[in-house]
Amino acid sequence: MSKRIFISKNASEIASLRSQFEAKGYEVIAHSFLSFSAVEFEIQHPYDVIFFGSPRAVIFFKASESISPDKLIACVGSKTAEVLESMGHKVDFVGKNSSDPKTVAEDFKNWLTERSRSQRASKAQSEERSTRVLFPLSSRSLKTIAGAIPEDQKEEVVVYQTEVKGKVILPCDVYAFSSPSNVEGFFEANTIPEGAEVIAWGTSTERALKEYAEKMGFEVKTMTKSDLTVIFGI
């Protein structure tokens, strides 16, 4: 009997990965417990840098707003950078490991500090002004990166709504979760069978899973998609 693997992504998002697993005889259940909708928003203050925490934030922001060529663009990782570049934007800062947002937050804060210093030096301006950052966010954002920036140096705007809806999933041998919100959606209608492997993609997802793990007695492994394919011989 083939192993059944659950991945908390829509099938269209993991088409290649799913094909690789199925070619090895695994049954894959792909489902996201999330749905998304646009939110009307208004930018209240001028900004110098815009930081995107996901490809979806880019898409919803760009549906209502343009990005001036004089703005610097920063993002959480390579996937978000690819979306921005496909739209013709130059990306000035790209997080090295989007699965570890705390590290990205620290790197971005350091980058921002250096930008502010160099701008003040080049302009030799007597009145110092910190570089301001705009954060387009989901309604359920954990704000890990935005939280690292002082309040007087940022503006947060919710550009899309994230809804979580539970659904019963057939029992699986392996469960791979891609976000804290998907963890919440799963446990609205499901539990982890005894002996199943539970995998978190990223540190935020790991923390969310461990809250349930302590109550239900399962272990959590943290790995990337690449790790997953290696372990299962894909």
Q: Which segments of the chain belong to CATH 3.40.50.10090?
A: 4-33+166-231, 36-162
Residue 120's pLDDT band (cuts 50, 70, 90): low
Rounded (10°) CA dihedral 50, 55, 57, 60: 120
Q: Considering the domain 4-33+166-231 in this protein, what is its CATH number?
A: 3.40.50.10090
Other Cβ atoms within 10 Å of 2 Cβ, number: 12
Distances (CA, A) of 106 to 6, 87, 137, 145, 191: 33, 27, 18, 8, 35
Q: What is the mean pLDDT of residues 212-232?
A: 79
Q: What is the pLDDT of residues 151-161, one digit of tens each?
A: 999 999 999 99
Least confident of 1-5, 21-25, 67-71: 1-5
In this structure, which amino acid lies at residue 52?
Answer: F
**Furthest CA-CA distance within the chain:** 73
**The token pair that represents 43 in the structure block:** 């930018």
Distances (CA, A) of 94 to 83, 101, 119, 138, 204: 12, 12, 20, 19, 19
β-partners of residue 7 are 30, 176
Q: What is the pLDDT of residues 26-71, one digit of tens each?
A: 999 999 999 999 999 999 999 999 999 999 999 999 999 999 999 9
pTM: 0.86
Distance CA 199, CA 193 (A): 14
Q: Considering the domain 36-162 in this protein, what is its CATH number?
A: 3.40.50.10090
